[in-house]
Structures are given as C-alpha cells and as structure tokens.
Amino acid sequence: MDLSKYKFNSESLLIIYKLLHDLLFLLLLFFGMALVAEGVLPGIITAHVGFSKIVFLVVFNLLAIFFTGQKIKIEISAKDDKKTTVNKKLTAALVILFGLLVFNSLWAINIWLNLFLVICSLATLYLLVKLFFEE
Amino acid sequence: MKMDFTKEIILDEKSQKKYRRLRFGLYLMAILAAIYFAYLIFFPVQFYDYSFANPNLNKGNVINPRDEAGKLLNKGNVEAGKKFYFDSSVIGNFSTVKISVDVSSKSKDFQPFLIRARKSYRSFLYPEGDPVGFRDGSLVKNNNNYFIISQGKLCQFQSLDNLNILGFSPGSFTEVSGEELKYNNIGDEIKDSNNYPDASIFKIDDAYYILSGQKLNRFISQKAFLTQYDENQAIQKDKSFLNRYQLAENLVGFAGGSLINYGDGIYIVSGASIYPINNPETFVNMGYDWNDVIKVNGDELSIYKKENIFNINTPHPDGTIFLADENSKWFIIKNGEKDSLPSENIARSWFKKNPIRVSAISEKYFEKCELSKAGFIFSTYECRIPVDKFKNFEGRYYEFSSTAQANIKLDKVSVEFKRFLTVANLKSSIKDMINKILIHYGFIKVQIQ
C-alpha cells in the first residue's frame, strides 16, 4: 500500500496549523463560557461533560500545535516573543472575568470579606505575572 | 471573518481559499455543537441502568431491581407469577420514559409483559400500617372527661380536683371527639394526686422536662420542646421538684421530621439521628418548606448522630408527616410503614410544623406499557410511558413494577427519561433554570427562625 499519497505537503500542514489555532480559540471560548455557566448554576455543564475532558482537549490541541509547528519548522524566537505586545483589552477582560469568578465562588461569605479576597487574588495574580514574565 | 490568530503565516491564494472553507466548516461545526449542547441542557436525558451480567458496573446506580420482599433480584432471576420492581428518582419535568429489559437467552419461555409505573414520594408508597393515636404527653378532653396519653394509653383523670391538685391547667386540654380517642388503648385511671403519670411535662426555671419511666428527661432547649408540645402543657415547678425524680441521662430533642439548620447545613431530625440534606434542590423537591427550618446551636445539634446524606433518592425518614391533598388524610412514616393519623388533632399532637403535601391519588395511579422487541438481533424489549401524565403529583420518585409470566432471567434493566422538543418544555426548562439560579444566589427568600 502506497502511503506516500497521504503525506501532507508543507502547505497542508500550514493550513492544519492555522486551523488548530482556530480550534484552540473555540475550545478556550467554550472552556471560559463553561466556567461562567458552572459558576452561575453548578452542575449545568458538568452534568454533561466534565472539565477534565475539556482540559484534556485543550492540552491535546496545544500538543498538536507544538508538533505541527515543529514539523513545519515554525519557531518563535525569544526576540519576537519579547516584542509581542499584550492585547490590553483582552487582558482587562480576562482580569475582570477572573475577579468575577473568584467573587462568585465566595458568594456565601460576607461581601466585604469576599471583595477583600478578590483584591488579594488579583494582587497575587499580578505579582505572579510580574515574577514570571518581566525581566 | 477578520479574526486570524496566525497572521504571520501567509498562504498562497489556493491554500488561503482552502483554509477559509475549512475554517468556515470548523466554526459551523462549533455552532452546531453549541446548539446540540444547548439542546442537552434544555431537554435533558436521564439514563439509569442495572446490569445483572456485570454487577460490578452498577456502583452508584439507583435503579434498585428487587423482588416483592425488597431483596435485590438474584442474578436477574424472576419466578413465574412473581412481581418485581425497580425505580429511579429524577428532578425535572420529563415527557416520557423508555423502559428497556435485556432478557437472557436462557429465558426460553419469555413472554413480553406489562410494565406499570407510578410517581410519588418514595416513603408515601410504603405499605399502610395500623392507625396511630395521640402521642405521649398529649392532654385531651371529651365531654368534661380529661385525659393524658401516657405510655401510649389513654389515662383519664378521676376528677377535675385531682387534675388541679397535680397542677394541670384544664385550658391546656384539647377538645377531641370520642372517635379520636379510640386509637389509644385505655390505661389506668389517675387517682393519685401526689404522683404524676408518665409523659407529664414540667417547666422548671427555663428548662422543660418530660417524665418517662418515672425519670425526668430534659429537653435540650425550648425550641426543641415547642416542636413537640405546646407551652401551656408544661406544669410550672420550682427547683426542689428535681429532687423528687431521678434525672435521665439522655436529652430530648426535636420532633421527628423537624428541619434544623446549623452553619450552612440543613438536617432532618429522625429519632436520635439527623440526615444532612445535600442541596436546596433536594430540599424543595422533597416537599419541605423553608419557613419550617429552625436555627439551632452546636449543643442542640450535638445530641444527634449524623447519618448519610439525604438526597433525592433517599426516602423521607421516620417521623415524617404527610398530608394527602384530596382526602385530607394524615400519615406518619414509621419503620418502613406509612401509618395513618386518623384526624388533624392526632396529627398535630405528633408534629407542629407543615406536613409534606402529597397527592393521595399518586399512590394508586398507574401508567402502563407493554414490552415489545426492540431489534432483530438482541433480546432487548422496550416500551414507553408518558410520564407527563404524572406532572401534577408531588415527589420525584418513579416506581416501576411488573409480573413475570414465566420463569425469566434478566440481563439488564434500564430507564431513560426524555423531554420532548416543544416550546412549552423549553419555557419550563428556562423557568426551572431561573429558579435554580435564584435559589443558588439566595434571592428566593429563605426565612430561618
């Protein structure tokens, strides 16, 4: 059996690589929406699909991106990486989402203590980002 | 579509076209998957099964296939003419339930049989026991005859003077009919004005006591006392009275069926045990009323033994009082039986809070379907029952039963609840969801005393 005809040329791999990014976006969008839905109404998502399965799909997708990238020799140089600008709107949206999820998970406790813990969590997140991503 | 997460990768025109088409397909699939997921959420399917061939797979299953004695069917064998049962509890309004039975190839004489289904509260379907009379300690009167219920017996006070000397207040006796008195056996007449009959109640300082076996049993708190008796039933005494009788070690708690709240937990009291309710959904679906929840302290909680979690599959524990809506009949759950409480006066002597409302018809209303072969290859038989016909009945417990026509061996039994795709069901799902969200965030007022 001649398998050579099934071999992907680099142009096909590039398409797959790009599609995998789209799929990653869709999976992360679903994951984010599932987190919010589950926070508002516990069990609404996990009754049908567990978070572990979604995480597994995301990880599998990331690995596929990594290996496809290797195959077509796509590299992100450290120089390029540093230049990558952080999308401020997206960051602000993610920070707000993170804060709301923490606030929601602590709904049962006193509101002031809740707000205090949300601020502490955001501060911890900021310091971690500083520690790991800044020179 | 402007979104491109890999702008740096430039494709040639042909590949770009191909990529666009594939990406369109991917997003279309995502939209279809989202619609399907929304369908699963708004029109849920609940599936339960029990495999006799692989009993190890049944961990956590709730279908509970059993014989007439309530024992698990031995390897799925049912003798000819014998009844067998299985059940499931589901939250939500469903349209239909599909019942499937896999019959072993060893069942040569198998004939398709009828499956009957009914829906109610699990414990309301218990067999009916003997009627129960007034509870111990009840003070009742009939035509100027005064009685106390002592050790389950109706004990008459010899005279009003005798009653007054002992310190009972005639105003605390409830007027009842002669018919209502028939449910307690007749006990000895109370002639002695110095000694109290068992089940006499006293208030000493701020504590309440009940005489039992000629020992004084203290109530853990006034709240606990008031779930069982009225304030005016207690005879006021001073501290010296405590020297007259021995004090019992055990404390008396709340009436059976009471709902108590400590911290974030709500518990159902049953004898010396409490059952923690797993979530507000179970609380509401099992017919409880938030207004009946009593806030307790650690001392009040500590006298109880904590039992397993009470969930939608758990039957209401002993002490639960049911009130059947159509015929105003009262029942109390005791030792796996549903004992009738012949009047409201008798029922109120057992429980001061709201009873669990239930439809009396639910016990006797059956829907049926006849099994038929589902395919050509496997010996699977199935039929459907429209469960929306049960929608006016309280309770989430479905009991399925059947009688085997010949000796049969079952490999598997399964039930699948489905909701039809209709606008009414969609509206009902959205309404349920909003209610759940309001309960989750505490916007539905929960008043705890």
DSSP of B171-202:
GGSEE--TTGGGGSEE---B--SSSPPTT-EE
CA atoms of B12 and B28, how far apart (whole Å): 24
B297 within domain boundaries: no
Same domain, A48 and A7: yes
pLDDT confidence of residue A81? 55
Q: Do the Cβ atoms of B235 and B168 come closer than 8 Å?
A: yes
> Is position B192 within any domain?
yes
Which one, of B126, B185, B176, lies nearest residue B150 by Cα? B185
ipTM value greater than 0.90: no
**B13 interfaces chain A, CB cutoff of 8 Å:** no
Domain shared by B198 and B239, yes or no: yes
Nearest to B209 by CA among B133, B298, B137, B297: B137
Same domain, A71 and A5: yes
| Cross-chain Cβ contact A18/B11 below 8 Å | yes
Pick from B176, B173, B167: which is nearest to B211 by CA? B167
On whether both A71 and A94 belong to a single domain, the answer is: no
> Last residue of some domain: B215, B247, B279?
B247
Contact (CB<8Å) A42/B9: no
Residue in chain B closest to A37 (alpha carbons) equals B437
Beta bridge partners of B96: B418
Q: Is A47 found in the same domain as A102? A: no
User: What CATH number does residue B83 fall under?
Assistant: 2.60.120
Compute the distance between CA of residue B364 and CA of residue B329 in angstroms, rounded to an integer: 15
Note whether A87 and A71 are same-domain residues: no
CB-CB under 8 Å, A41 with B433: yes
Residues of B in contact with A74 (CB under 8 A): 9
Across A78-92, average pLDDT: 67
Query: Counting beta carbons within 10 angstroms of the beta carbon of residue A20, is it exposed (0 to 12), middle (13 to 18) or buried (19 or more)?
Result: buried
- Got the DSSP string for B43-54? S--EEEEEESS-
Give me the residues of chain B with pLDDT under 50, please: 1, 447-449
Q: Dump pLDDT digits (tens) for B154-184.
A: 999 988 888 889 999 888 999 999 999 999 9
CA of A16 vs chain B CAs: smallest distance (Å): 8
Structure tokens at B123: 């414990």
Tell me, yes or no, whether B160 and B238 share the same domain. yes
> If pLDDT is split at 50, 70 and 90, which confidence band does A86 have?
low
Segment A57-78 shows an average pLDDT of 85
Residue that is last in its domain, among B247, B281, B296: B247
Structural domain harbouring B80: 46-113+371-418
- Local structure of residue B109 (DSSP, 8 states): T
A64 in the same domain as A20: yes
**Is the CB of residue B340 less than 8 Å from the CB of residue B177?**
no
Say if strands B174-175 and B139-142 run parallel, antiparallel, or are unpaired: parallel
CB B338 within 8 A of CB B128: yes
Spatial contact of B260 and B294, defined as CB atoms under 8 Å apart:
yes
pLDDT tens by residue, A95-118: 999 999 999 999 888 899 999 999
One domain, residues A17 and A52 = yes
Query: What does the alpha-carbon distance between residue B23 and residue A22 come to, in Å, rounded to a whole number?
Result: 8
Distance from CA of B436 to the nearest CA of A (A): 7
Q: Which of A26, A31, A36 to mutate to test the interface with B (most CBs of B within 10 A)?
A: A26
Nearest-neighbour CA in chain A from B91: distance (Å): 13
Query: Could you tell me if residue B35 is inside a domain?
Result: no
Chain A residues with CB inside 8 Å of B34's CB? 30
CB contact B28 to A (< 8 Å):
no
In-domain check, residue B402: yes
CA end-to-end span of chain B: 58
Q: Which of A18, A40, A44 sits opposite B9 (nearest CB)?
A: A18
Q: Which two tokens stand for residue B434?
A: 């909003």
Structural tokens at position B376: 């050509």
Whether residues A37 and A60 share a domain: the answer is yes
Among A24, A49, A75, the domain-final residue is A75
Same-domain pairing of B51 and B143: no
| Alpha-carbon gap: B360 to the closest alpha carbon of chain A (Å) | 33
Nearest alpha carbon to residue A10 among A75, A70, A77: A70
Q: Are residues B149 and B107 in the same domain?
A: no
Report yes or no on B163 lying in a domain.
yes
* Nearest chain A CA: its distance from B98 CA (Å): 20
Residue that the structure tokens 């540093």 belong to: A82
For residues A5-19, give the mean pLDDT: 78
Q: How far apart are CA B85 and CA B96, in angstroms?
A: 19
Q: Does A41 share its domain with A7?
A: yes
Same domain, B240 and B158: yes
Q: For chain A, say whether B38 makes contact (Cβ under 8 Å).
A: no
Q: How far is CA B118 from the centre of its chain?
A: 16
The interface residues of chain B toward chain A in range 254-283, judged by CB-CB distance below 8 A, are 264
pLDDT reported for residue A1: 44
Confidence of residue A77 (pLDDT cuts 50, 70, 90): low
A6: confidence class by pLDDT, cuts 50, 70, 90:
low
Q: Are residues A31 and A96 in the same domain?
A: no
Length, in residues, of chain A: 135
In this predicted structure, the answer to whether residue A5 has a pLDDT above a threshold of 60 is no
Indicate the residue among A25, A50, A75 that finishes a domain: A75
For residue B447, what pLDDT is reported?
47
Do A102 and A65 belong to one domain? no
Instruction: Taking residues A8-23, report their average pLDDT.
Output: 87
CA of B31: how far to CAs of A53, B24, B430, in Å? Answer: 19, 11, 21
B26 touches chain A (CB under 8 A): yes
Neighbouring C-beta atoms of residue B156, cutoff 10 Å: 20
Tens-place pLDDT, residues B249-287: 889 999 999 999 998 899 999 999 999 999 888 998 999
Q: By the 8 A CB rule, do B333 and B322 touch? A: yes
B71 and B145: one domain?
no
Q: Are residues B153 and B174 in the same domain?
A: yes
Residue among B83, B120, B118 nearest B331 (CA): B120
What are the φ and ψ backbone dihedral angles of B343, each rounded to 5 degrees? -150, 165
Same domain assignment for residues B432 and B401: no
Phi, psi of B135 (to 5 degrees): -80, 160
**Closest-CA residue in chain A for B13?**
A11
Q: With contacts defined as CB-CB under 8 Å, which chain A residues touch B3?
A: 25
Strand order in the sheet with B174-175: B174-175, B139-142, B145-150, B153-156, B185-186
Domain boundary pick from A24, A45, A75: A75
Number of domains in chain B: 3
- Please indicate, yes or no, whether residues A133 and A82 belong to a single structural domain of this protein: yes
CA A50 from centre of chain: 17
What pLDDT score was predicted for residue B437?
Answer: 87
Contact A17 B40 (CB under 8 A): no
Q: Closest-CA residue in chain A for B22? A: A19
pTM above 0.90, yes or no: no
pLDDT of residue A76: 63
pLDDT of A22 above 70: yes
Asked if B37's CB is within 8 angstroms of A19's CB, the reply is no
Structural domain of residue A106, as residue ranges? 78-135
Distance (Å) from the C-alpha of residue B278 to the closest C-alpha of chain A?
13
pLDDT of residue B407: 87
Verify that B437 and B393 share a domain, yes or no: no
Query: Given B19, B34, B41, which is nearest A44 (Cβ)?
Result: B41
Q: Give which of B401, B413, B341 is closest to B366, Cα–Cα.
A: B401
Q: Please, which residues bridge with residue B145 across strands?
A: B142
Domain count, chain A: 2
| B343 class by beta-carbon count within 10 Å (0-12 exposed, 13-18 middle, 19+ buried) | buried
- B26/A23 CB distance under 8 A: yes
